Structure 1
Amino acid sequence: MNIIESSTPLLSAAAPIRNEPVQARSTARLAALLDSAAAVIDEIGYERLTTAMVAERAGASIGTVYRYFPDRIAVLQSLAARNTERLMGRVAAELVPGGHASATDAVVAVLGAMTELFRSELGYRSVRAGDVLDLLPPQTEATANAMMADVVADALIAGYNVVDSAEVRLAVGTAIEIADALVARAFARSSQGDAALLAEAERAVRAVLAGRL
C-alpha cells in the first residue's frame, strides 16, 4: 500500500449512509443515486438539491433514497467523499516515484488531475474536497486541503528525494490551496475552465515551490 492509498481514508470521511451496500446490486443503486445527485447539482447547484430531486432523476422512489441517506446533507457528504476518492486516485497515479522530471512537475501534475475532474465529473465544481461541507471527522480540525497537502508532501519526500521540513510542507500546502482556489475560479463560469486562470494557477504553483523542493 502506498502513501496515497494509506492516507485516503483520512480525506474521505465516512458519510452517514444508513445502509452500506454489501451486494453488487445495492452498490450499483447507491452509485446511481449519487450520479443523479451530481447531475442535478451540475444544473442547479447543491444549495437547491432535495432528496425528491435525487429520486426523480434516478427513477427511484423516495423510500429508496431514504434507505441510504437520512437527508440531503448526507447525500452531499457522500458525493463529496466519492469525489475525494476519485481525486486521490488520480493524484496517486501522478505521484508515482520517478513519474515526473522533478517534484515540482509532480505537483503541477496534481494540479492537472484536479483540473480534469472539474471538466469530467458531474457536480464536482460544486462539491469537492475543498468545499465548506462538513466532510471531515469531528475529531480533527484539519481541512481537506490541508490533509491532501500532507499526503502530497509525504509522497514527494518518499519518491522525489525531497527533504522533509516545515518550509517544504508550508510550500506544498500553499500550492494546494492556491491550486484549489484558482481552478475553482476558472470553472466558475465555464465547463472547460478559463485558460488564462488555469495558466495562472500553474505559474503560481511553480512560484510558490521555487527553491523549496
Structure 2
Amino acid sequence: MSSIIELSTTLLAASAPIRNEPVQARSTARLAALLDSAAAVIDEIGYERLTTAMVADRAGASIGTVYRYFPDRIAVLQALAARNSERLLERLVGELASDAHATATDAVLGVLEVTVELFRMEPGYRSLRVGDVLDLLPPAADETANSVVAGAVAAALQQRFDVSADDAARRAIGSAVEVIDALVARAFARDADGDAVLLDEARRVVRATLAGVL
C-alpha cells in the first residue's frame, strides 16, 4: 500500500516548481521554514494576497533566499500545496491500513476524518488543500489532484478489502473524495473547528455515495 501512496505523492510533488532542490539538511530546513512562513501568512490573509516579500519577512530571510528556491509567488503556493498533498497522502497510509476499519466504507470515512484533522491542525491547509482551484497538475495532465488521491484510495481499498476495480467502484470512490474535499472545505470556511452540521452531512453523503457499490 505504501508504494501506491509514494507513486501518488511523486506525481503531485513533481509539479511543484522549486528552482533548487535542497540536498543538504541545512537547505532542506531553510526551504521548510519558507513554506512554514508562507502557510502562516496564508492562514492570516489568504493565499490571494501572499507575496514573496511577506514570506521572506515572516521567515526572517532575505528576498534573495526566497528567489533561490522559487521564481515567483505562484511557485511558493504550488510548493505549499504539494507539501499539503504529500502530508495528506502520508497520513492515508496508516488510515487505510488500520484494523479499526471493518469495511471499505469505514476506511473512506477515515479518509474524511484525516482530512478534517488536517484542516484543523495544518497551517495553510484550509487555503491550499488537495482539491483547490490552484491545481498542482499541469493542464495537459489527464488527472486532477483529487483524482490522484482517489486513485490511491481505490488501490488501497482493493488491497485491504478486495474492493472491485471496476468503473462503478472507482467512480463511487472518486465521487466520495470530491464530496469530502468540497463539504469539509465548506465546513471550515467560517469555522476554525469545522461546522459540525456540515461535517455530519459530509459523512452521510459519503455513506450514501458508496452504498451498494463497495
Same fold, TM-score > 0.5, yes or no? yes
Alpha-carbon distance between aligned partners in 2 of 1:146 and 1:32, rounded to the nearest angstrom? 29
Which amino acid in the other structure matches residue 167 of structure 1? Answer: A
Distance 1:97 1:154, change over 3 A: farther
Report the number of matched residues: 213
Which amino acid in the other structure matches residue 179 of structure 1? Answer: I
Shift of 1:163: 1.7
Structure 2 runs not aligned, ≥5 long: none
Alpha-carbon distance between aligned partners in 2 of 1:40 and 1:198, rounded to the nearest angstrom? 26
Shift of 1:98: 4.2
Q: Could you say which residue in structure 2 is the equivalent of 1:202?
A: 203
Alpha-carbon distance between aligned partners in 1 of 2:175 and 2:56, rounded to the nearest angstrom? 40
Alpha-carbon distance between aligned partners in 2 of 1:53 and 1:148, rounded to the nearest angstrom? 31
Alpha-carbon distance between aligned partners in 1 of 2:211 and 2:51, rounded to the nearest angstrom? 45
Which amino acid in the other structure matches residue 6 of structure 2? Answer: E
Alpha-carbon distance between aligned partners in 1 of 2:62 and 2:158, rounded to the nearest angstrom? 49
Residue pair 1:5, 1:92 contacting (<8 A) in 2 also: no
Q: Could you say which residue in structure 1 is the equivalent of 2:17?
A: 16
Alpha-carbon distance between aligned partners in 2 of 1:68 and 1:181, rounded to the nearest angstrom? 31
Alpha-carbon distance between aligned partners in 1 of 2:190 and 2:11, rounded to the nearest angstrom? 31
Shift of 1:59: 0.5
Alpha-carbon distance between aligned partners in 2 of 1:172 and 1:123, rounded to the nearest angstrom? 26
With the length of structure 2 as denominator, give the TM-score of the two structures: 0.96
What CA RMSD, in Å, does the superposition of the two structures yield over aligned residues?
Answer: 1.3
Residue pair 1:41, 1:123 contacting (<8 A) in 2 also: yes
Alpha-carbon distance between aligned partners in 2 of 1:143 and 1:200, rounded to the nearest angstrom? 24
Residue pair 2:135, 2:144 contacting (<8 A) in 1 also: no
- What aligned pairs does 1:28-107 form with structure 2 within 5 A after superposition? 28-96=29-97, 98-107=99-108
Shift of 1:171: 0.5
Q: What secondary structure is seen at the aligned counterpart in 2 of 1:65?
A: helix
* Cα deviation digits, residues 91-147 of structure 1 (max 9, x gap): 111111645100000000000000100000111100111011141145413111112
Identity, in percent, stands at 69
Residue pair 2:183, 2:199 contacting (<8 A) in 1 also: yes
Q: Could you say which residue in structure 1 is the equivalent of 2:166?
A: 165
With the length of structure 1 as denominator, give the TM-score of the two structures: 0.96
Q: Which runs of 4+ in 1 moved over 4 A?
A: none
Q: What secondary structure is seen at the aligned counterpart in 2 of 1:95?
A: helix
Residue pair 1:97, 1:160 contacting (<8 A) in 2 also: no
Structure 1 runs not aligned, ≥5 long: none
Give the stretch that moved more between structures: 32-41 or 159-168.
159-168
Alpha-carbon distance between aligned partners in 2 of 1:52 and 1:73, rounded to the nearest angstrom? 13
Which amino acid in the other structure matches residue 47 of structure 2? Answer: Y
Q: Could you say which residue in structure 2 is the equivalent of 1:153?
A: 154
